[in-house]
A = this chain, B = another copy of it.
Amino acid sequence: MTEKPLRVALIGTGFMGKCHALAWNAVAPVFGDVPRPELALLCDVNAELAGRRAAEFGFTRSSDDWRTAVSASDIDVVSITTPNQFHPEMAIAALEAGKHIWCEKPMAPAFADAEKMTEAARASGRVAALGYNYIQNPMIRLVARLIGEDAVGRITHLRVEMDEDFMADGAAPFDWKHASSSGYGALDDFGVHAFSLLKILGFEPRSVAALMTKPYPDRLTGDGSAREVETHDVASMLLRFDDGVGGAILLNRSAWGRKGRIFIQIFGTRGTIVYDQERLNEVQVYSADGPGYAQGFRTILAGPAHPPYDKFIPAPGHGLGFNELKIIECRELMRAIAGEPAHLMGFDAGLGIERIVHAAARSHEHGGWVEIV
């Protein structure tokens, strides 16, 4: 692979900033076939925090100005982990400056901005990857493999549920995620993960009928007054795919007790595949093979037979974690930068996801079916 180490800048030090930092630190020891990246620059609007985290994360220098990451000549790739509304400006600037970028999902609250980002990526000729890390789970690759091997036959129906409870507490105060400036709510805040999983498995919805609801119509603000919640914590969709296949996607970020559930059910003419992100080291498969009295859902535990699990642990059933999916994503990004085929969600694919999001939002507003174009 690339001979010269990649020189990395990271913008943001929150949840995803740290997650990127861990991945950049671990990718070489885990995979062993890439030079250790040079962690060159860490940016955070808070200068003190930027400096402190740079020391912790192993970055050489820090800055309180993200533009440094764009203008510096010794940076090859920029990790963008700031809130969504900042993605367009940062991503476009970095691409125009000739940097590869690794930008967290979703692309941007406004579809027009996502389009501009995609155009910038195309024009730049650089790698522009999105942080859809769930697709990197070896067990999701197993699902793709099983489908590809025709283990469950032709797919006839699909369901994806994605549920968490970080908005389930009605007593929690009004938050920036409750303002329409943040987007639609569950639909784009985290529903995009569901769409990314469908896409990586080869399923493209053609039209959508959506319903979005608000468990809590208003919430208290800091001054004790009630403010109308503008986003929807629950989004439910019916989907039409090609060849008469239908499906449903059901999203709820006010689902008490669900912490990171992404429940996928793929029904085929010879079997069924089930996956639950809360048990991310397992896949369930039913095959209508063999004698009926012995048929059942098999629970497959992740192991070295499911690459690249083997790069982490040589023994099966020991379990990968969420952060390790990011390390895999980082390795795929490096592959793409080296010009190799990579299992990665680029801006083009990401724009396709944004199209579903906005079509669903239009369906909710106007009622009935909306084409995804």
- List chain A positions with a Cβ less than 8 A from chain B: 15, 18-19, 21-22, 25-26, 28-30, 32, 35-36, 52-53, 55-58, 142, 145-146, 151-152, 156-157, 159, 161, 164, 166, 168-170, 209-217, 234, 236-238, 240, 244-248, 250, 252, 254-261, 267-272, 278-281, 283-288, 291-301, 303, 305-306, 312-324, 367-369
Contact = CB atoms under 8 A, between A and B. Distances in A.
Nearest to A52: B32
A324 B217 CA distance: 40
Of A52, A250, A296, most buried by chain B (CB within 10 Å of CB) is: A296
B57 A29 contact: yes
A293 B317 contact: no
Given A22-B30, A317-B164, A317-B261, A250 B248 contact: yes
Given A256-B270, A293-B142, A319-B322, A236 B234 contact: no
A217 B244 contact: yes
- Majority secondary structure of chain A interface residues (helix, strand, loop or mixed): mixed
B234 A315 contact: no
B259 A315 contact: yes
A211, A257, A258, A279, most chain B CB atoms within 10 A = A257
B236 A318 contact: no
A321 B297 CA distance: 21
Contact of A25 (B25, B216, B283): B25
Nearest to A284: B296
A5 B323 CA distance: 25
Contact of A259 (B29, B245, B316): B316
Contact of A213 (B244, B284, B369): B244
Nearest to A18: B29
Contact of A56 (B28, B240, B259): B28
A280 B53 contact: no
Contacts of A245: 213
Contacts of A268: 256
Contacts of A287: 256
Contacts of A157: 213, 215, 234, 252, 254-255
Nearest to A170: B269
Contact of A29 (B21, B30, B234, B267): B21
A319 B217 CA distance: 32
Contacts of A168: 269, 288
Contacts of A215: 156-157, 267, 269
A293 B300 CA distance: 8
Contacts of A294: 146, 151, 285, 298, 300
Given A157-B252, A294-B300, A313-B323, 13 more contacts: A36-B55, A157-B234, A164-B317, A255-B267, A257-B271, A257-B288, A259-B315, A260-B315, A280-B319, A294-B298, A298-B298, A313-B321, A323-B324
